[in-house]
Amino acid sequence: MEAPFVNPQEDTAAEAIEAIGDELDVFDDWMERYQYIIEMGRKLPPFPPEWCNDAHRVPGCQSQVWLEEKEADGRLYFAGLSDAAIVCGLVALLLRVYSGRTREEIQATDPGFLRDLGLVQALSTNRGNGVEAMARAIRTAAAVSA
């Protein structure tokens, strides 16, 4: 899939989650871990500036998060961006898990892995973070029939 939509690096969402966990485990220190997450955000394909608008904005976060989707070959592909670096890294992480998957796989993949990885403390209540809203938006997109 062409940029800015994210192509999967792993064959399945579950493998992507496992790979992310392994990569984060390398670091002893949370500051280093965040540095790595920020790096992931910086490596996202460039998000078109004309999409940074209200139509693409994910509501419910204090940092701004924009999201676009595209369907091809029975799979949903996503592009995303945030104006906050850590949130942008978490967006990259979410897209690595969810982009380029089938609707069924997206719906079957619980975003609770972010909590398991210690990346968000309380997924359902951390309203300021925006990642939860992003995960919800991705899974809502998958739930809407094509």
Partner 1 sequence: MSTQTPTVHAVPQLDVHAIRQQFPILGEKVHDRPLVFLDSAASAQKPNAVIDCMANTMRHQYANIHRGLHWMSERTTEAYEGVRDLVADFLNAPSREEIVFTRNSTEAINLVAHSFGALLKPGQAVLISQMEHHANLVPWQMLRDWAGIDLRVAPITDDGDLDIEAYKALLADGKVALVAITHMSNVLGTITPAKQIADMAHAAGAQVLFDGSQSVVHHKTDVQALGADFYTFTGHKLYGPTGIGVLWGRRDLLEQMPPFLGGGDMISTVTFEHSTWANIPHKFEAGTPAIVETIGLGAAIEWVNKIGFDGIAAHEADLTTHALQRLATVPGLNIVGHPRVRGGVVSFTMADVHPHDIATLLDRNGIAIRAGHHCAEPLMRRLGLSATARASFGIYTQKEEIDVLADTLVRIRDFFV
Using CB under 8 A, list all residues that contact partner 1: 30-31, 34-35, 38, 62-64, 83-87, 128
Query: Nearer to partner 1 by C-beta: 16 or 38?
Result: 38
Q: How far is the CB of 85 from partner 1 (least distance, A)?
A: 5
Which residues form the catalytic set? Answer: 61
Q: How far is the CB of 89 from partner 1 (least distance, A)?
A: 9
Q: How far is the CB of 16 from partner 1 (least distance, A)?
A: 23
Query: Nearer to partner 1 by C-beta: 30 or 140?
Result: 30
Q: How far is the CB of 124 from partner 1 (least distance, A)?
A: 18
Angle in degrees, CA 106, 112, 115, rounded to 5: 140
**CA 75 to mean position of chain CA atoms:** 16
DSSP tag of 57: B
User: Amino acid identity of 60?
Assistant: G
List b or e across 99-122, with b for residues whose CB sees 16 or more CB atoms inside 10 angstroms: bbbebebbeebebebbbeeebbee
Query: Nearer to partner 1 by C-beta: 112 or 118?
Result: 118
List b or e across 6-23, with b for residues whose CB sees 16 or more CB atoms inside 10 angstroms: bebeeeebeebbeebeee
Query: Residue 145's CB: how many other CB atoms inside 10 A?
Result: 4
Query: Nearer to partner 1 by C-beta: 76 or 114?
Result: 114
